[in-house]
Structure 1
Amino acid sequence: MTDDITIRPVLTAPDRRRFVDLPHRLYRDDPHWIPPLRREALALITPARNGWFSHAEAQLFLAERDDVVVGRISAHIDTLALTMPPDRGFGPGVGQWGLFEAEDAAVAARLIVSAEGWLRDRGMIRALGPISMSVWEEPGLLVDGYDHPPTVMMGHAKPEYRGWIEGAGYHPVKRLLTYDLDITRPFPPLVQRIVRSGERNPRIRVRTVDKSRFDEEAALILSILNDAWSDNWGFVPLTAPEIADVGVKLKPIVYENLIRIAELDGRPVAFMITLPDLNEVLKPLGGSLFPFGWAKLLRWLRRPRVRTVRVPLMGVLKELQSSRLASQLAFMMIEYIRRASVEGYDASRAEIGWILDDNQGMRSIADAIECRVNKVYQIYARDL
């Protein structure tokens, strides 16, 4: 029976808090779920605190049973995504939903219908999900890799969600892969030779970022990123308001020797961003910095020691992507960051991704350094 379920829009600040609090109950017995900081989760869904809303609109919904919140979902339309080529995932008439959580299958079905109705009322003819809320945040549903925690800025989900979403008529349209890498071992001899060859090339310089010029370096990386990723499935260019918000969020966990920019003849042409896995320190905090979480987090930020680092973004200008130079620059940046991660942060593993399942260039690089796929996320679609 589903008639005891009430679906209503989120309209007030208390509603937003209930929306954010629900996963803390649903996952309380899951040892691999990482409670996000509530203030960060609230910022994501608050237009005044998330630059993504400068080009998007969203409606959040709560599902309730006997006045208890038992599910949630967001429905959203990104005006920039509507302008993208249809053969790359988005395009005219394509809306999204995300931030999906449900206590049972009946709740899930009602939530998805509500999100679809909101999108249909605004002229959308196709829905993609889950995308929470931007493709740059936590896209896709975890479908493989439930047995270990996600790294920073990656999602987690209950295994049941896959069946519930597919049962609502959705079919997978894209897989996103993350790779696990043992960084305590040197790379294979071939990769080492490629790195040494690059080091002998006077045209190539691989440098660390300068955090004292944070805004300038961020703008430089953004320009490479928007060019390098522009032909990828699901690409939507990052905007200035989003970059400003991401900068505020990530600056505390930006460490100069974990982010590299590759230059060719003095011109920046590639970058690689690596972050220490903040989730390792967040997990015991339970989503709150009070009363003692602030002190623990600040102490960790001054000198982070982690088991894992994550590579969320890497890019080479399109003009070089079909050349051998592209992989050489990638191997050089990966090697330098591997050394820094082990020597400076005590890390023993890296997670690379997500990587689109049809991105053969990046998957070849991952294979060459002997990575293995450790998590798979899936994006679904359905015509409305």
Structure 2
Amino acid sequence: MTTTIRRVEGAADLKAFVDHQWTANAGDPHWVPPLKSEVHGLLDPRANPWFDHAEAALFLAERDGRIVGRVSAQVDRLVLAMPADQGGGAGTGHWGMFEAADAEAAAALLGAAEDWLRARGMTRAMGPFSLSIWDEPGLLVKGHDHAPTVMMGHHKAAYQEWVEAAGYGGAKDLYTYELDITQTMPPLVQRIIAMGEKNPRIRVRKVDKSRFDAEAAIILGLLNDAWGRNWGFVPLTDAEIAYAGKKLKPIVFEDLIRIAELDGEPVAFMITLPDLNEFTRDLDGRLFPFGWAKLLWRLRNPRVRTMRVPLMGVASRLQSTRLASQLAFMLIEYIRRASIERYGATRGEIGWILDDNLGMRAIAETIESHVNRVYRLYEKPL
């Protein structure tokens, strides 16, 4: 039977688009079902402020009366305004939310996304982004043998071959690093931390959740400064910051998010999250009728195996200095201790980290972590 592609129109199609991820990943022991309410919220222009500066189209692939794949195509005006050497620029369109039953469905879906992008004047297709760099970027090309941590994707190994067969080449790799946090830091790192603790100019503190908005503003200011020149960086709008804050506040634990100050000025931060995938995996994507109560109960006194560090940054004026590494090691060590003592964690995951971010990669390797997953962003001229 021929594969046909149609655009998602209406609530029934949207439900089929979201639900297809369960069909596509059935039988994969390492896939973690997302919360369906979160996915629907991500795709809802009335809920997600990303749509204030972007537009997206969703497509389904069908064959013999059944769905055999899905894909999104999107154009983000903030990406179009980026410098070309940072992964954006005029003519750069994205695709994502990709699932396919076979190579034929994959080719048809990517072709539909490319046609939609061409119709909007795009000259380069890049993906996968689901929907942006801040959601689940990249296609998993290494690490299929274990489950992802919170806010990271998981994809069939065959997808790499199918995407590359459609003419895509790698644009950037994103690495995650894992380590056994029950092990003490290497002696050199311990000495660096001890020196920092004796420096009266340095203070590392927990965030104060009662001042959530003010603390978020400090961290986001540091994020924009530290990450502003990174490949793929798209600044969050005020509305997106508020949206993200509302979602993250219930999972913010003060001893897992730290700010480093130098002479009283915030100059570095580290955000760590308990791996919520451990709490939600058995919910099968459903919060109701009983999933919500289970999740709230688990968050009251969270005990997890893995902690994930999704964001970390040092003020740009300090980058490439010894102080930057010292602050990073201090943040990592203080959160490592809290992760073990309060939450019972034994494993940490850092990332993603860009393949050309040599400073962060060096820090990850110095604390004896190793790459456990690689996500690849692809590009193709249209």
**SS of the residue aligned with 2:73?**
strand
- 2:228 is aligned, of 227, 230, 234, to 230
- For 2:224 and 2:49, locate their aligned partners in 1 and report how far apart those are by CA, in whole Å: 17
Q: Does 2:129 correspond to 1:136?
A: no
Q: Which runs of 5+ in 2 are unaligned?
A: none
Partner of 1:91: 89
Letter in 1 for 2:79: A
Partner of 2:313: 315
**SS of the residue aligned with 1:48?**
coil
How far off its partner does 1:138 sit? Answer: 0.6
- For 1:11 and 1:243, locate their aligned partners in 2 and report how far apart those are by CA, in whole Å: 29
Partner of 2:12: 14
Letter in 2 for 1:81: V
Q: TM-score by structure 2 length?
A: 0.99
The aligned runs of 1:279-298 (5 Å cut-off) are: 279-298=277-296
- For 1:167 and 1:253, locate their aligned partners in 2 and report how far apart those are by CA, in whole Å: 40
Q: TM-score by structure 1 length?
A: 0.98
CA RMSD after TM alignment: 0.9
Partner of 1:348: 346
- For 1:214 and 1:62, locate their aligned partners in 2 and report how far apart those are by CA, in whole Å: 40
Q: Does 2:327 correspond to 1:336?
A: no
The aligned runs of 1:193-342 (5 Å cut-off) are: 193-342=191-340
How far off its partner does 1:240 sit? Answer: 1.1
**SS of the residue aligned with 2:72?**
strand
How far off its partner does 1:66 sit? Answer: 2.7
**SS of the residue aligned with 1:131?**
coil
Partner of 2:38: 40
- For 1:227 and 1:14, locate their aligned partners in 2 and report how far apart those are by CA, in whole Å: 43
- For 1:270 and 1:55, locate their aligned partners in 2 and report how far apart those are by CA, in whole Å: 29
Percentage identity across aligned positions? 66
- For 1:174 and 1:320, locate their aligned partners in 2 and report how far apart those are by CA, in whole Å: 25
How far off its partner does 1:290 sit? Answer: 2.6
Partner of 1:177: 175
Q: Which stretch shows the higher mean deviation, 374-383 or 245-254?
A: 245-254
- For 1:244 and 1:298, locate their aligned partners in 2 and report how far apart those are by CA, in whole Å: 22
CA displacement, residues 41-61 of structure 1 (integer Å, 9 cap, x when unaligned): 101111111121111111111
CA displacement, residues 281-305 of structure 1 (integer Å, 9 cap, x when unaligned): 1111110123321221111110000
**SS of the residue aligned with 2:345?**
coil
CA displacement, residues 234-277 of structure 1 (integer Å, 9 cap, x when unaligned): 11111111111111111111100000001111111110000000
Partner of 1:76: 74
**SS of the residue aligned with 1:227?**
helix
**SS of the residue aligned with 1:149?**
coil
- For 1:351 and 1:54, locate their aligned partners in 2 and report how far apart those are by CA, in whole Å: 32
Letter in 2 for 1:198: G
Q: Which runs of 5+ in 1 are unaligned?
A: none
- For 1:217 and 1:68, locate their aligned partners in 2 and report how far apart those are by CA, in whole Å: 48
CA displacement, residues 174-202 of structure 1 (integer Å, 9 cap, x when unaligned): 10000001000110011011111111111
**SS of the residue aligned with 2:266?**
strand
- For 1:317 and 1:66, locate their aligned partners in 2 and report how far apart those are by CA, in whole Å: 55
How far off its partner does 1:14 sit? Answer: 1.4
How far off its partner does 1:131 sit? Answer: 1.0
CA displacement, residues 191-239 of structure 1 (integer Å, 9 cap, x when unaligned): 0111111111111111100111111111111111011001111111111
- 1:147 is aligned, of 142, 145, 148, to 145
Hey, which bits of structure 1, 4+ residues long, moved more than 2 A? none
Partner of 2:62: 64
- For 1:224 and 1:53, locate their aligned partners in 2 and report how far apart those are by CA, in whole Å: 25
- For 2:284 and 2:175, locate their aligned partners in 1 and report how far apart those are by CA, in whole Å: 27
Letter in 2 for 1:250: L
CA displacement, residues 115-155 of structure 1 (integer Å, 9 cap, x when unaligned): 00010000000010111111011110000000000000000
- For 1:270 and 1:48, locate their aligned partners in 2 and report how far apart those are by CA, in whole Å: 34
Partner of 2:355: 357
Count of aligned residue pairs for this structure pair: 382
